[in-house]
Amino acid sequence: MSELKKAIDQISKDRGIDRDLLVDTLEEAVRSAVARKYGETMDIEVSFNEDNGEIEVFEFKVVVEEVHDPISEISLEDAREHDPNARVDDEMGFPVKIEDLGRIAAQSAKQVIIQRMRDAEQEIIYEEYKDRVGEISSGIIQRRDRTGWIINLGRTEALLPKDEQIPRERYKRGDRVQAYIIDVLKESRGPQVVVSRSHPDYMIELFKREVPEVADSTVKIMGVARDAGLRAKVAVMSRERDVDPVGACVGIRGSRIQNVVQELKGERIDIVVWSPDIAMYAQHALSPAVITRITVDEEEETLEVVCPDDQLTLAIGRKGQNVKLAAKLLGWKIDIFTESRYGELNAARKGMDQIASVAEVSMDNFFNAGFESIESIVNATDEELLSVKGLTDTKIADIRVAINMLAPGDFGSNETEEVPTELPEATEENDVVETESTETTEEESETPAEGEETK
């Protein structure tokens, strides 16, 4: 076996490059070198002889009576010296020695081979990693650049962008880290693998790795809401009656969930049981708070949640974290009220119902115009009341008469104006198991006061 053939086989094996691709690249490189030395007009054929393991190059010339282009033509007399049977217009091939190409042409061939091999390797890496999107990959922190950390994955590098990192998590060169592959981009310098440690699906993959029931789909994760590095809520359901989804994810004495918590540097995780009933799902998602009443507005996808006065702190959570994650998990907006505030609001609404009836206008029209209590109507000018859809001067006069004729008690309490607690959107849940207690002095000290708006 020739040295060239051995080299092709070795490179193909070591770098995982298709052998035929290497041969094609070699032939193209030699063709490029010949063209560089003799010009593009030379008609040549380059092929790799598998028998002797050598590259063979032939130039072809047309037999003519009178030569005008010595590169592409040969005289009949000269042609018959090679082949006595040669005739005009015949095409004859002559071997070209590669050794005669010269240093510059050889260097050109070498550059073509190196570039083609690099392109082939990059294509192989791209094809490999684009099929691994959604998997966890491990690597070593190599360096930091302006967009994030560069991680060496072995065959290629990955980028961990700043906005995909866990806040306050610190790295240094040489640290081993694992992350979730979210994208693979084709770049001029090679494929760019983008990874994340804050993505919700990263947590799902960690549970698949730690919990066999999740891996085999006996327990299904229905949704994840994360405040990366601080707290998360995971909604689960079981496909089998005798399998407890929460218990399966937590493990004996919390062994399974603690492995996930440790990987995420102490992020607290609530495991909640998913339910198709949005009210029950919301009740579980808001744990550990006790919920006494939930009103569902399916059209607006809004939940009005009522809890005991002493449960407001737990329901909202530190800096609104508990209710924000619940809203994100459910995918619905959540307004939280204490029982005392809800009672005041209902009293005010009772009076508003009567006013709306007198004016023959929907109560929502008043609310949309910013009038949420009788007191706000009494203090408003006629011009301001005309902003209520459906109100006219005549109807406004009727409202004034009704308010003056009837005692304030007939309308319910008109002294309080409720400001609902509006929360971000949510996703899904049911029962809750926490990795740490949520009742802390710090949490209580940072929870908004009753009636304040949390966002």
CB atoms closer than 10 angstroms to residue 263 = 17
What residue type is 107 in one-letter code? Q
15-24, 315-324, 390-399, 436-445, range with greatest mean pLDDT:
315-324
Whether 256 contacts 234, CB under 8 Å: no
pLDDT in tens, 252-294: 989 999 999 999 989 999 999 999 999 999 999 998 888 999 9
Which residue in 298, 236, 294 sits closest to 269, CA to CA? 236
Mean pLDDT of the chain: 80
Domains of the chain: 3-126 (3.30.1480.10), 138-198 (2.40.50.140), 201-332+428-445 (3.30.300.20), 340-411 (1.10.150)
The CA-to-CA distance between both ends of the chain, in Å, stands at 74
SS3 annotation, 397-427: HHHHHHHHHCCHHHHCCCCCCCCCCECCCCE
Mean predicted confidence (pLDDT) in 150-165: 91
Distance between CA atoms of residues 66 and 174, nearest Å: 73
Name, in order, each residue with C-beta under 8 angstroms of 366's C-beta and a sequence gap of 6 or more: 352, 355, 356, 372, 377, 388
pTM: 0.61
Which residue in 406, 407, 409, 383 sits closest to 396, CA to CA? 383
Pairing of strands 176-187, 136-145: antiparallel
How deeply is 71 buried, as exposed, middle or buried, from its count of CB atoms within 10 A (0-12, 13-18, 19+)? middle
419 pLDDT more than 50: no
User: Which letter does DSSP use for residue 189 in this model?
Assistant: T
63 pLDDT more than 80: yes
Distance between CA atoms of residues 392 and 370, nearest Å: 17
Which residue in 232, 210, 215, 231 sits closest to 223, CA to CA? 232
pLDDT in tens, 169-217: 888 899 999 999 999 988 777 788 999 999 999 999 999 999 999 999 9
What residue type is 377 in one-letter code? I
